Amino acid sequence: MSVDLTGMPANAPSGGDLPLPSIRLRRLRGSERIRRLVRETRIDPAMLVAPLFVCAGSGVREPIGSMPGVARLSPDLAAIEAETLAALGVGGLLLFGLPRGKDPMGSEASADDGVVQDAFSRIRSLQLPIVTIADTCLCEYTDHGHCGPLTRSGEVDNDAALERLAATAVSQARAGADIVAPSAMMDGQVAAIRAALDGAGFQGTPIMAYAAKHASAFYGPFREAAGSAPALGDRRAYQMDPTNGREAMREMALDVAEGADLLLVKPGLPGLDLIAAARQRFDLPIAAYQVSGEHAMIAAAAERGWIDRRNATLEAVGAMVRAGAGIVVTYAAGDIARWLADERS
């Protein structure tokens, strides 16, 4: 059966003495039908995870200026959003909490009546076909904005943070989180959380380790969204130097040894090589995070008419999948699911 390559010239003019190619890669590019057939990378909504920012109150939807299309939602609206995303076939949700109050220890992170816990239990009661993931960190909950309690000299106290992170993970699992995702970049956090979950009867709760997490400039919009910019200093004493790669592999290997069930690389596009290396080296599911700044750059350029948001988003997420990510966390998860459904209809 012949394939109709619409738009291809029937007879290419002869080039005289010029050598003409017999291998013509353009043969497989001539129509959308054939391009679709030979496409190497496909995105499935089931592999996407949508982050949600949960705030206090009810009926609250506050758009986030630096992240077009993303809003802070109170637990009741977060549950409705979860229903919408589940209906679109999106695979998972990643919940961040904006607490009612902050203190030096980030107490509300592990409060059983915290906003994120409330959202998890509402979503659980809906029994949706979507996986719920908790971002397990303290920076949204501490008044100083760092990912753990501080020592007297003002550094983040690694070992004190472990206890807080472990209590937070247990509280999130108790509220109904299917997976916990520690993102604080404290040494030993995966082992501490595993032990605490097991001790509390959550042996079946997987840990998705933000294993390779760099001190990236691309988290800027998130910090506005979550109100979590450090009051003093930055996160470079615990997140990795943005271009270190060998260290990223050590972080991942350690998290695997500590019991991580899934590994996450972040940010996504600047980390494509690490996604590929992780895919080669480890047999765990590998996730990539298209972070707030990656999302905002595309959205802002699209608003100016400089870039096509749909195509740029699908290209960036597709590149992460090509690199080896089986899961992509992206603020565009719902939009991507809609675009893919439109293509099929």
Residues with active-site annotation: 213, 266
Tokens of 121: 């239990």
- What phi and psi values does residue 278 have, to the nearest 5 degrees? -65, -40
Binding mask 111-130 for ligand PBG (x = CB under 6 A): --------------------
Q: What x-and-dash track marks residues 169-208 binding ligand PBG by CB under 6 A?
A: --------------x-------------------------
When asked if residue 139 is in the footprint of ligand PBG (CB under 6 A), the reply is yes
Angstrom distance (rounded) from CA 167 to CA 164? 5
Smallest gap from Cβ 99 to ligand PBG, in A, equals: 13
Question: Which residues, in sequence order, are CB contacts of 93 under 8 Å at separation 6+?
Answer: 49, 50, 51, 52, 82, 85, 123, 130, 131, 132, 133
Q: Does 64 bind ligand PBG (CB under 6 A)?
A: no
Please give the Cα distance from 182 to 190 (Å, whole number).
Answer: 7
SS3 call for 145:
coil
- With binding defined as CB under 6 A, does residue 269 bind ligand PBG? no
Provide, rounded to whole angstroms, the least separation between the CB of residue 231 and ligand PBG. Answer: 13
As a three-state string, the secondary structure of 14-26 is CCCCCCCCCCCHH
Non-local CB neighbours of 19 within 8 Å, separated by 6+ positions: none
Tell me the CA distances in angstroms from 105 to 16, 112, 158, 336, one per residue in order: 78, 16, 13, 38
**Interaction of residue 137 with ligand PBG, rule CB under 6 A:** yes
What x/- string results for residues 306 through 345 when contact with ligand PBG is judged by CB under 6 A? ----------------------------------------
CB of 288 to ligand PBG, least distance (A): 12
| Binding range to ligand PBG, per CB under 6 A, among 14-22, 72-80, 215-223, 308-316 | 215-223
Integer Cα distance of 149 and 81 in angstroms: 33
Could you tell me the smallest distance in angstroms from the CB atom of residue 222 to ligand PBG?
Answer: 3
Stretch of 79-87, 135-143, 160-168, 273-281 contacting ligand PBG, by CB under 6 A:
135-143
Tell me if 147 contacts ligand PBG by CB under 6 A.
Answer: yes
Phi and psi angles of residue 94, each rounded to the nearest 5 degrees, phi first: -120, 115
Which range in 156-164, 187-195, 218-226, 250-258 contacts ligand PBG by CB under 6 A? Answer: 218-226
> How far apart are alpha carbons 299 and 293 in whole angstroms?
10
Which residues contact ligand PBG by CB under 6 A? 135, 137, 139, 147, 183, 219, 222-223, 235, 291-292
